[in-house]
Amino acid sequence: MVARSFQVHHNDSTYGVDYDTGDGLEVFKIQIFSLTSIPPDEQKLIGVDENRVLSDDSDLVAISEKLRLVSINEEQQEKSTAENDELLKSDEELARMLQAEEEALLFQQYAVPEDNGKFEGRVGPYVSQVLMYEDLQRQEAARKTVPIEELEEKALVSLAKEGNSTPSKNEQDHAFLLQLLFWFKQSFRWVNAPPCDGCGKETVFHGMADALPSEIRYGASRVEIYRCNFCPIGSRFPRYNDPLKLVETRRGRCGEWANCFTLYCRAFGYESRLILDFTDHVWTECFSQSLGRWMHLDPCEGVYDKPLLYESGWNKKLNYVIGIAKDGVCDVTKRYTRKWHEVISRRNIITEPALSAVLANVTKDCRRGFTSQVLSVLEDRDEKERQELESSLHSTDNASTSLPGRRSGDKEWRKSRLECGSDESCSLSGSSCPVRACVDKHVTEIHNAFLPILSHFVKEKYPKSRAVEVLETLKGILVDLKKSPFKTRRATINSVSQSLVHQLLPSFTELLNALSMSGKADADGRFDISLAGNAVKTSLALPVALDALDDTINNLNICDNFVEDSLCLPLLKLNRIHSGSVLASGEEIPFGIAMSAFDGLRTSKWEEPNGARGCWIKYKVSDNLMHELVAYEIMSANDAPERDPMDWVVEGSNDGESSWHLLDKQTSQIFDSRFQRKTFKISCQGFLSNVFRFRFLTVRDVLSTSRLQLGSIDLYSRSS
């Protein structure tokens, strides 16, 4: 027995309890009953430090000395009261909003002047603008600049990572559109002040100038002049409106970004709109056949399907948001607000009935000459969208998703526009994330495939330098394969490597199988490697194999004695647990999601925006199979060493997460380099778990960041 002193807090009182832990939880509850009069079967004890409920299996020796007592009856009563209060509050809030909306509409009738063409004059030029996107020459020029096959591959891989290996045409189109957005974000350049045309150094704004004929040709009615502080040349920055020119220059601010990106969307056949925000922003909407609705895409921010970004993230005071397409215009403001009663009070250019009439007339002109069948389809879609916009007005926001302030543009410029928002970290993050399935069986297969290769080296007594040379040759072959077109991927082994490959082919077969590839010698003695299965599986696996090769070469180089006994962790990574599901305390969307911790790739990472002072990630084994964890590895991410985990504990559970068993604890861990892997052996033997939890307690520099990030976590079980 272990004598311990606990501090049990209940309501406004704290009770000191001295207890011999070997007597069990039930006796402990009886002792608390004598102090609080709460029956044992109505007690819920929570460890303050761990924030977890104590169960019969809880280790009373290891738990926090500070406990919180909650009466189950009191908790249920409080929950019921809170739910009723929330419902009452929601009803009152809705009534208040409807009343404010009615008052704003009534005020608008008297305060807003009659329509004098001002609104139509604001929208009209954009109606002409979007017709440029239908020009076949412009579309072809845009398509020629896009690495189409690369984006197709990325789209299919992204679907495969979600477990969708046989996507429909609509799903593929949707995924390709997102990859097009991400590519555009990386390939187009934001201009605060252009670099000097003479010396390339920084410039400062010096005023406006008349456009030259060559600039007017591409719609540049405004030209900004910038002075260089180092040479007399300076720079001109024409604000081109013709997307054909923007495809060439690939630079600008939000107007140029949205203008050019919408052309790209039309070039690949997506039904698209240019979205004009009267409070000075422009973006794109595309109709997603996969979602069955219009989807928001902001190329400047690289954000999609987050229409509340501007109101909730940027703190914009919206008034009019108008969608402009080749077949009509639409007031889509309601998609971008949950404060319609406030927005409508700022709509002071035109009354609502007059606005509807103007938009209807412009749309009628746009659709002049359309067949009755096409008109019927468009009108049906218009009505569905109208209903969707109305229903979305009073929907509940997802409070778990944090929308960032503006990220594009100079920081001082963003501040001057009051668009920085409240999120200083400028990220799209989730304070809670969904359970995500790990599609990573191929990672385990690739690690296992190194066993016959390394075993062959040991059996044939290869010196370490020779083994490294062979692996470097293999890496070169895989690099060539990765560079080849993904649908017809193949590589031919050159004469220098042929004898080597023939000699080692039996040991390489398992790796080729893991890559869905096969090797074959032709009549001339050349050795060809080509696809033997699903091309997407190969695309998914090749980057993993290359990272694994780099890691194996590194571990082999630092191996003191390359013999059979060295064929274990960290050199050889057998019995890696895979195909489970993951849940985390938070994640970065879309490039730092929790699933990325288990995908075997250096290019991805899990990032917890609020994890610097504590966060967690849980891995649940597939089919609830029990595993004895014997080791795990953690890899540092690509950047920001201050975000590296430093202190953590690893726990396992086998009872539905009612209790957790401590498996490992680490403190003051420092990752010396990026993509550095550290291997940790489990000293606690014999405990079987089907859920593993990492509780990260602090990062390397908690004073300089709010974030935690890591490149990967790999779990290894005892062989059966």
Same domain, 527 and 464: yes
Same domain, 262 and 390: yes
CATH number for position 680: 2.60.120.260
Is 678 a member of any domain?
A: yes
Is 576 a member of any domain?
A: no
- Domain range for 462: 440-566
Provide mean pLDDT across the span 437-460. 96
Provide mean pLDDT across the span 478-499. 83
Please determine, for residue 263, whether its predicted confidence score (pLDDT) is greater than 90: yes
Please determine, for residue 499, whether its predicted confidence score (pLDDT) is greater than 80: no
Same domain, 48 and 19: yes
Are 669 and 646 a contacting pair, CB within 8 Å?
Answer: yes
Is 293 a member of any domain?
A: yes
Is 466 a member of any domain?
A: yes
Same domain, 387 and 263: yes
pLDDT at 525: 67
pLDDT at 141: 98
Is 282 a member of any domain?
A: yes
Q: Which of 369, 396, 423 is the last residue of a domain?
A: 396
Is 320 a member of any domain?
A: yes
The structure's pTM equals 0.84
Catalytic residue among 281, 296, 578, 627: 281
Question: How do residues 591-604 score in pLDDT, each as one tens digit?
Answer: 999 999 999 999 99
Judge whether 254 counts as a catalytic residue: yes
Judge whether 281 counts as a catalytic residue: yes
Is 289 a member of any domain?
A: yes
Same domain, 643 and 685: yes
Which residue stretches of 40-168 are H helix? 72-111, 118-131, 136-144, 148-161
Same domain, 270 and 130: yes
Question: How do residues 296-332 score in pLDDT, each as one tens digit?
Answer: 999 999 999 999 999 999 999 999 999 999 999 999 9
Provide mean pLDDT across the span 554-576. 94
Question: How do residues 515-553 score in pLDDT, each as one tens digit?
Answer: 999 988 776 767 789 999 999 999 999 999 999 999 999
Question: How do residues 391-402 score in pLDDT, each as one tens digit?
Answer: 887 776 665 678
pLDDT at 70: 77
Same domain, 64 and 123: no
Residues forming a β-bridge with 447: none
CATH number for position 381: 3.10.620.30
Catalytic residue among 174, 228, 242, 254: 254
CATH number for position 8: 3.10.20.90
DSSP labels, 405-422: ---SS-HHHHHHTT-S-S
CATH number for position 456: 3.30.1370
Same domain, 608 and 556: no
pLDDT at 568: 94
Judge whether 647 counts as a catalytic residue: no
Same domain, 449 and 309: no
Is 616 a member of any domain?
A: yes
- What letters, b where the CB count within 10 A reaches 16 and e where it falls short, cover 24-61? ebeebbebbeeebebeeeebebbbeebebebeeebebe
Query: Total domain count for the chain?
Result: 4
Please determine, for residue 367, whether its predicted confidence score (pLDDT) is greater than 60: yes
Same domain, 533 and 594: no
Q: Which of 566, 601, 636 is the last residue of a domain?
A: 566
pLDDT at 423: 54
Same domain, 300 and 373: yes
Residues forming a β-bridge with 518: 530
pLDDT at 147: 97
Catalytic residue among 173, 298, 440, 599: 298
Q: Which of 512, 531, 566 is the last residue of a domain?
A: 566
Same domain, 128 and 267: yes
Mean pLDDT of the chain, nearest integer:
89
pLDDT at 532: 94
